[in-house]
């Protein structure tokens, strides 16, 4: 995505996990995320916040979130290294926009039509639980429709439409780009975020059965559409 002139603006600074990269990122940003390169449900995600003296670390293990403080960089690196299971990445922390005082991100579901064209089949907003560093439903988050989010933010019909179009255009461009690099891709869930200034970011792209089952009750039309498209390429579940 960084090589695409249109999409690179949405990508937070992201590097592989190493001692030198962790030092560079903690020096450059007041907060960073360390997370599995391949993960789900928010498990294994860590947030590091630079303090006047040392570092604050918050981490998600299973459904539990814990917090610790480290006086030295070596102590922080040693802890993160000991937790490492598989490849990790380090990502610039984004100060997320909030709704009802809580951070949120937006999952755009993009799926292939039977003849191969990509279509954005809908959106799911994930609002984080109180004091959690992730927004996932599995971690106690709340799910909104995009329309509900925009109403709670007090957006006009025009502003709401502009935001939805921007999400659709970006998600389709991402799907076309990535499917051109990796064969056999039929669906992706793009997790977008807006920062406190309103700028759009891509937090991650999920290509391994992105979830949409929480929409079954709150937006059955979108849920059925996503499920119907999933059946075209052989996926039978919404999880």
Instruction: Say what percent of the chain tops pLDDT 90.
Output: 61
Report the pLDDT value the prediction gives residue 17, as an integer from 0 to 100.
94
Go through the chain and tell me how many residues it has: 239
Report the pLDDT value the prediction gives residue 99, as an integer from 0 to 100.
93
Report the pLDDT value the prediction gives residue 11, as an integer from 0 to 100.
93
Q: Give SS3 for 226.
A: helix
Q: What is the DSSP letter of 8?
A: G
Report the pLDDT value the prediction gives residue 145, as an integer from 0 to 100.
94
- In the predicted model, is pLDDT for residue 137 greater than 80? no
- In the predicted model, is pLDDT for residue 141 greater than 80? no
Tell me the per-residue pLDDT of 30-54, one tens digit each, with 9 for 90 and over.
999 998 877 665 567 899 999 988 9
- Structural domains of the chain sorted by starting position, each given as residue range(s) with its CATH number in brackets: 12-92 (no CATH), 98-232 (3.30.470.20)
Nearest residue to 188 via CA among 214, 161, 170: 170
Tell me the per-residue pLDDT of 58-101, one tens digit each, with 9 for 90 and over.
988 877 888 999 999 999 999 999 886 778 899 999 999 999 99
Q: Give SS3 for 229.
A: helix
Report the pLDDT value the prediction gives residue 109, as an integer from 0 to 100.
96
Quote the pTM value.
0.87
Return phi, psi of residue 192, to 5°.
-100, 155
CA-derived radius of gyration, the chain: 18
pLDDT bracket for residue 162 (50, 70, 90):
very high
Rounded CA-CA distance 159/163 in Å is 6
- In the predicted model, is pLDDT for residue 186 greater than 60? yes
- Which one is predicted more confidently, 236 or 137? 236
8 A C-beta contact, residue 14 and residue 94: no
Rounded CA-CA distance 100/152 in Å is 8
8 A C-beta contact, residue 22 and residue 90: yes
Rounded CA-CA distance 1/180 in Å is 12
Report the pLDDT value the prediction gives residue 232, as an integer from 0 to 100.
87
Instruction: Select, from the ranges 16-30, 74-88, 197-211, the one with the highest average predicted confidence (pLDDT).
Output: 16-30
- For the chain, the average pLDDT equals 89
Report the pLDDT value the prediction gives residue 51, as an integer from 0 to 100.
93
Report the pLDDT value the prediction gives residue 63, as an integer from 0 to 100.
73
- Which one is predicted more confidently, 84 or 175? 175
């Amino acid at each position: 995505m960084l090589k695409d002139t249109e999409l690179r603006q949405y990508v937070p600074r992201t590097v592989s996990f190493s001692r030198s990269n962790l030092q560079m990122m903690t020096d450059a940003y007041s907060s960073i995320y360390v997370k599995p390169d391949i993960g789900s449900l928010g498990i294994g995600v860590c947030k590091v916040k630079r303090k006047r003296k040392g570092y604050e670390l918050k981490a998600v293990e299973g459904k539990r979130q814990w917090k610790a403080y480290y006086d030295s960089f070596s102590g922080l690196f040693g802890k993160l290294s000991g937790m490492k299971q598989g490849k990790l990445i380090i990502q610039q922390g984004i100060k997320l926009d909030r709704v009802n005082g809580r951070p949120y991100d937006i999952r755009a579901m993009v799926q292939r039509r039977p003849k191969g064209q990509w279509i954005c089949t809908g959106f799911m907003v994930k609002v984080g639980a109180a004091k959690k560093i992730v927004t996932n439903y599995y971690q106690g988050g709340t799910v909104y429709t995009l329309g509900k989010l925009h109403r709670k933010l007090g957006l006009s019909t025009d502003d709401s439409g502009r935001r939805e179009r921007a999400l659709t255009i970006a998600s389709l461009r991402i799907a076309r780009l990535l499917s051109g690099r990796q064969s056999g891709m039929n669906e992706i869930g793009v997790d977008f975020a807006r920062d406190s200034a309103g700028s759009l970011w891509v937090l991650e792209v999920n290509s391994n059965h992105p979830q949409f089952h929480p929409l079954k009750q709150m937006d059955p039309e979108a849920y059925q559409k996503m499920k119907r498209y999933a059946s075209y390429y052989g996926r039978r579940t919404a999880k």
